[in-house]
A and B are shown apart, each in its own frame.
Chain A
Amino acid sequence: MKLTGDKIFKILAAIIAASALTILLITGYTLTAGSAPVLQKFGLNFFFGQQWNPVEGREVFGILPYVLGTLATSGIALLIGVPLSLGIAIFLVEMSPRSLSVPISYLVELLAAVPSVIYGLWGLFVFRFWMLNYIEIPISKYLGWIPLFNSSHIGLNIFTAGAILAIMIIPTVASISKEVLSAVPNSIREGAYSIGATKWEVIHRWVLSYGRSGIFGAIILGLGRAVGETMAVTMLIGNATGSAAMPTSLFQPGQTMASLIANGFLDTTRGSLASSAYIGVGLTLLFISLLINVGAHVVMTRVFKVKGGAVE
């Protein structure tokens, strides 16, 4: 059989495509193998325990606070970031004149280019004190008796980390939502206007409804970024460990899976139980990320699917 240029190209493309899957499989295998010792020793307690002690001879590892901390910070990021992002997208597509929407979209996308350590630095030296002085202290002063608002008055906590994550997911969520809204056929808007809908009604009953699956996808991508984001969170979350890291209050230091790894991996020795524990945290993080993506895909294709007809 003669190898033509097309065949060579086809084989090369197949190899490259397969490499993406291979990398994922290798990562999964390495993490599973690496975390086997800690999983064998602690079993389910690894996932549901709250204690964390890497000192040799007294090792105990439970990652529940960090799983919950990850979910809490990501949740806060979505709660704050998604409405802002949708507001930006709606303004850019439905309201602003073109002369304004082009530079604004560019600036929004530029936010994505800021390295996360810069967000961390700015958060540590500037943003933290805004959060502390204008949100944390006033709220804890009046509502501090509620455990959720119990404050440690340092500004390095779950809420600050979540808020910085919100800013970091805005470019992703806003720019994808913008594309989604732009793709909504104009005939739908016209149809809605023609039966006497106001601009607001056209946006929230028709445009957002038509674009819901795409917007959901944008949110999931934002969530993916929030779950895995490490540097800025490590600098702002206060880095509690053990049961102190349980996210019971917005204004107390916490810990996410990613920040735990970033904080601890340097102190471990290769092959120790502690290093296995950190790898186990990594495996859990990877698994949760995959779960979010797969779940999102199912929701998008099954629940939100908008069937096209004459409308293109």
Chain B
Amino acid sequence: MTTPTTTQQKENLSQPDPSQQPITADVIDATAKMQAINVDAWFGQKQILKTVNLTVKPNSVTAIIGPSGCGKSTFLRCFNRMHELVSNSKMAGQILLDGKNIYDRQIDPVQIRRRVGMVFQKPNPFPTMNIYDNVAAGLRLTGTKKDKNLDDIVKHSLEQATLWDEVKDDLKKPGTSISGGQQQRLCIARAIALQPEVILMDEPCSALDPIATAKIEKLVIELKQNYAVIIVTHNMQQASRVSDYTAFMYLGELVEFGETRQIFENPKNKLTEKYITGEFG
């Protein structure tokens, strides 16, 4: 199943087929916060990702763009080991967090998910919990008890997610009682509360109206002061607005990766150019 494909996009890649190379020290980028090395992923027999490589710098926003079904969400879910939760899923390759492979046998995926937070396509606050508990849920798992400290973290997280002013009087209301955009910011606060190092966002605005989208985008840019953010989006304008680096994926392969400005203004690959200019997608 790992037979290297010889499609046209493959030849356009600047690097030789990396699955044939052993992972050596010089592949590892010491300045990277996270790094995907030769990542393959499958659902059953269907290969979704084909030897994808990507470097994520600290304090930056990396956008992953590409048409539907190109594997960008699957790729994102490999960064916090959510991919493996789906039955029939398989994954090969390495993903490094601070230089350490998160797929190492000794690594507990639960610990990884605390360091690499996630925000989903559809806002999914916990409906059985109020707003406060939604933010505090992750901390309660780690054993932080109800005290001043927890109150502070919840407040701080909601402030960082620019939601505090809107919900500070309604902390006891159900997490699902607020608007869709607020719910999504609540989910961001929930991720922030664990003080992760990286935040993954899987098309966080696709279910939101333009105003809510603008708020989230502003927030994403603010978040990079403290975190590395990887954001999957099918909205190219959004990618160009919020990201520092952009990766273009097509049919499970990473076609081009570079600084966002370069990708959008001067793409090296014909496919990227076609996608950016809206010729397909």
Contact = CB atoms under 8 A, between A and B. Distances in A.
Partners in one complex: yes
Interface of A: 97-98, 185, 187-198, 201, 205-206, 209-210, 212, 306-311
Given A190-B85, A195-B138, A196-B114, A311 B190 contact: no
Contacts of B178: 309
Contact of A194 (B117, B123, B176): B117
Interface residues of B, number: 35
B124 interface: yes
Given A307-B177, A309-B183, A192 B128 contact: no
Given A309-B177, A310-B176, A196 B127 contact: no
Nearest to B113: A196
Contacts of A97: 87
B110 interface: yes
A212 B174 CA distance: 16
Contact of B194 (A193, A195, A205, A210): A195
Contacts of A212: 128
Contacts of B207: 310
A196 B82 contact: no
B234 interface: no
Interface in B75-111: 80, 82, 85, 87, 110-111
B176 A187 contact: no
B180 interface: yes
A206 B128 contact: yes
B126 interface: yes
Interface of B: 80, 82, 85, 87, 110-111, 113-114, 117-118, 120, 122-128, 137-138, 141-142, 174-178, 180, 183, 187, 190-191, 193-194, 207
A165 B124 CA distance: 40
A306 B127 contact: yes
B134 to A, nearest CB: 9
Nearest to A197: B141
A194 B128 contact: no
A307 B141 CA distance: 23
A308 B125 CA distance: 10
Contacts of A308: 127, 176
Contacts of B191: 194-195
Contacts of B122: 187, 310-311
A96 to B, nearest CB: 10
Contact of B124 (A190, A197, A201, A205): A190
B82 A310 contact: no
B124 A193 contact: no
Given A188-B126, A310-B180, A311-B124, 19 more contacts: A97-B87, A187-B124, A188-B124, A190-B85, A190-B124, A191-B120, A191-B124, A194-B80, A194-B118, A195-B117, A195-B190, A196-B111, A198-B110, A307-B127, A309-B123, A309-B127, A309-B176, A310-B122, A311-B125
A307 B82 contact: no
Nearest to B139: A195
B174 A201 contact: no
B185 to A, nearest CB: 12
Nearest to B187: A191
Contact of A196 (B110, B183, B187): B110
Q: Which 4 A-B pairs have the closest CB atoms?
A: A309-B176, A195-B138, A196-B114, A187-B124
Contacts of A209: 128
Nearest to A209: B128
A311 B176 contact: yes
A311 B193 CA distance: 21
Contacts of A188: 124, 126-127
B138 A196 contact: yes
B97 to A, nearest CB: 14
Nearest to A210: B128
Contacts of A309: 123, 125, 127, 174-178, 183
